[in-house]
Amino acid sequence: MLFRQLLDENSRTFTYLVASRRGGEAVLIDPVRDQLPLYLRLIEALDLRLVYALDTHTHHDHPSALEVLLEQTECVTVMGRETSSPWAIRRLSDGEVLDIDGLELLAVHTPGHTDDSYSLVMDDRVFTGDTLLIRGTGRTDLGGDSREQYASLFGKLLQLPGHTLVYPAHDYNGRHVSSIADERRLNPRLQAMTVEDYVALMESVRPSDPRLSDLPEAPSLHPRAPRMRELLALKAVLTAGSALGDTSNSS
C-alpha cells in the first residue's frame, strides 16, 4: 500500500493520500484547497490516477479542495449522504464500501461534530475526521450534537480493535497518529462515565475560534464535568480535614 500523510500548516489539517500501489488508483481524504498544487504534483510523481476525493465532513476551518478537484481532475468527489455540499457527486451511506484497486474503505457514520461526519475504516487504521482526535474530540457547538458524538465514539469507534491506528483530520500539538487503545486510556474526553458527563464536558470546552476544532481555551470546569466534580470532592476532603484539625487544636 502507498500512504502519505500531508499537513496544511495554516489550519493544521491532515490530508491522506492512499493507493494500493505506485501507478494505480488513489483517493485523497480531506484535501485542502490551498494545497492543490502539492496534491497534483505528488499524484503525477507517483503515476497515480485519482479516482476519489473525499471529505469526512463539512469543514468549518478551511476551504475544501473538492470543488477544484472536481473541475481539474476526473475524480469522483465523495461525502456522506447527509451533506448539503453541492460538490459531492457520490454520497456514502453508513456501511458502504469504497474500493480503490482492492483497498476497501468502510464508511461509518459518526455524527456529533457535524451531522455529515463519517469515519473510514481500512484494515489496520481508521480515518476519523474531527470525530476522534488525538487526546481530544471535535467541538460540537457549530451545528453538532454532543449526545450523538458520544454515541459515535463509545458505540462505534471505541469498539474497534485496540491496535487500530487513528488518523484524525487535525492536530495542534505535533502528533501524527494514535491508536484506539491509547485513546481509550489517555484521551481525557473519553474518561466521561456517562453521556451526561460527556455533554457537560463538551459544553465547558468551547473555543471561540471556529478554526480550532479541538483546542479548548479553558479547563473543563463546568459544574457537572468530571474534572470539576473531582476538584469539589477534593475540596470537601480538605475542608473536612481542616475542620478536624481545628477541633483537635481547640481541645
Per the prediction, the chain carries an average pLDDT of 87
Q: Which residue has the cell 505506485?
A: 22
Here the cell at position 238 is: 480538605
Average pLDDT estimate for 163-179: 95
Q: In the chain, pLDDT over 90 holds for what percent of residues?
A: 71
Q: In the chain, pLDDT over 70 holds for what percent of residues?
A: 81
Output 241 or 76, whichever has higher pLDDT.
Answer: 76
**Residue 142, pLDDT score:** 83
Residue range 2-192 forms a domain whose CATH class is alpha beta
Query: Does residue 219 carry a pLDDT above 90?
Result: no
Residue 172 binned pLDDT confidence (cut-offs 50, 70, 90): confident
Here the cell at position 31 is: 484535501
Q: Which residue has the cell 460527556?
A: 198
Residue 233 binned pLDDT confidence (cut-offs 50, 70, 90): low
Backbone φ and ψ for 101, nearest 5 degrees, come out as 55, 40
Q: Cβ of 184: how many Cβ atoms within 10 Å?
A: 15
**In the chain, what are the domain boundaries?**
2-192
Q: How far apart are CA 4 and CA 14, in angstroms?
A: 10
Average pLDDT estimate for 108-112: 97
Query: Does residue 159 carry a pLDDT above 60?
Result: yes
Kindly report the pTM of this predicted structure: 0.83
Range with lowest mean pLDDT among 66-70, 124-128, 204-208, 230-234:
230-234
**Residue 187, pLDDT score:** 96
**Residue 122, pLDDT score:** 97
Average pLDDT estimate for 144-152: 96
